[in-house]
Amino acid sequence: MAFGIYIHWPFCRSKCPYCDFFSKVQKHIPQDKIVNEYIEDIKYYSELTKNKEVTSIFFGGGTPSLLSPQNIERLISTIAANWHISSNIEISLEANPNTDSPSLFSDLHSSGINRLSLGIQSLSAEGLKFLGRTHSVRDALTSAEKVLNIFSNHSADFIYALPNQNITSWHNDLLQICSLGFKHLSLYQLTIEDGTIFAKKDIKPADENTAIELYNLSNQILTQYGYDHYEVSNFAKPLYECKHNKLYWQGDDYVGIGPSAHGRLHINNNFFATTHKRQKEKLTPYERAEELILMGLRLTEGINKQTFKQTCGLDFDKLISPQILTALSQQELIENSSQTIRATANGFLVLNKIIEDLICNSLYIDYQHQ
């Protein structure tokens, strides 16, 4: 099974108005001290998971490209010294165009990063300004060119369904996005989360009908350009799906290092949710099953029922009300077989409702007696 390490670097140069992730804007950052603490946490978790083989490492944030290449290399080296490392390990890092120095991307590659995810978010000056991004379109295009020249595996993030965004403008953006040549693309619909600057300003995204049209157009254009729509918001060229993010959606184990980093570990037939700092909360099979449904249905391949049972110990078909499954199938929102359950194209448009029906209304077995 896949096993990953997530490293959270919470610092940013500025706070984006749509972002609800934990992050800090801080001028003076004691990098070495913080990384020393991360290294101790890595050693702690390695003792709990010595039998695992690390298949992916992901540096997220915040803005992890603000972390020095030297400290990135220290963290990667510590992981390699404490676990067996897969021969084809994926080591990803998120970077913003405005954190690029003349040699940053090449330095990151030399430090051990082999997959770079670039947070472009928009290819229009108006879009970047609205989203509070501090880089220009020119910065984005220059950084994209460098990333594609230095890394053989790469991704870019974009946000759509902005207020007043229409089909024509997004169609033009999609053609330019596809022409950049990234192996992987993440396209996120703008959502207004509580506590964000946008929420406080009562900003509204594109209306629901427009958002659906933009979503369908994204699928159409990216498919034409050879991208596989393998997860609700993610598209990849063949063989370039994000290994690390996919292990979340598949329910595999991972260690979380750093503030706001979460982990999921299966130890001695028990499930644990881990949080900073070295906190472990035991999960019931029922709670783990909920997570597997919540995450697994985001994949276009859906949930493999045999893997589901191997992961949480519960039989999917005995867990979910057959009436609910029949109703969703008749509405052509899911495809349900003895092997898998997956959302249809129409189902993806109302995926949150499907998940709510399955989790909130359909789990009926009393696991206290199992």
Tens of pLDDT along 25-39? 777 889 999 999 999
The closest of 93, 80, 83 to 6, measured between CA atoms, is 93
CB-based contact 261:308 (threshold 8 Å): no
pLDDT of the residue at 129? 94
6-10 mean pLDDT? 95
Residue 20: alpha-carbon gap to chain centroid: 14
N- to C-terminal Cα separation, the chain: 26
pLDDT of the residue at 369? 44
Tens of pLDDT along 210-257? 999 999 999 999 999 999 999 999 999 999 999 999 999 999 999 999
The residues spanned by each domain of the chain are 3-245, 303-370
Task: For the chain, give the number of residues.
Answer: 370
pLDDT of the residue at 100? 62
Q: Rounded mean pLDDT of the chain?
A: 93
Q: The tokens 């994000």 sit on which residue?
A: 242
Instruction: Return d(Cα 92, Cα 245) in angstroms, integer.
Output: 10
342-369 mean pLDDT? 80
Question: Which ranges in 83-193 belong to alpha helices (H)?
Answer: 104-111, 125-130, 137-150, 167-180
Q: The tokens 């295009």 sit on which residue?
A: 141
pLDDT band at 368 (very low <50, low <70, confident <90, very high): very low
CB-based contact 248:242 (threshold 8 Å): no
| Distance set, CA 293 to CA 39, 219, 330 (Å) | 33, 23, 20
pLDDT of the residue at 12? 84
Q: Is pLDDT above 50 for 117?
A: yes
What's the CATH class of domain 3-245?
Answer: alpha beta
| More confident: 56 or 134 | 56
Residue 354: alpha-carbon gap to chain centroid: 20
Q: Is pLDDT above 60 for 370?
A: no
pLDDT band at 275 (very low <50, low <70, confident <90, very high): very high
Locate 16 and state its tokens: 């984006």
Instruction: Return d(Cα 152, Cα 351) in angstroms, integer.
Output: 33
Query: pTM of the entire structure?
Result: 0.95
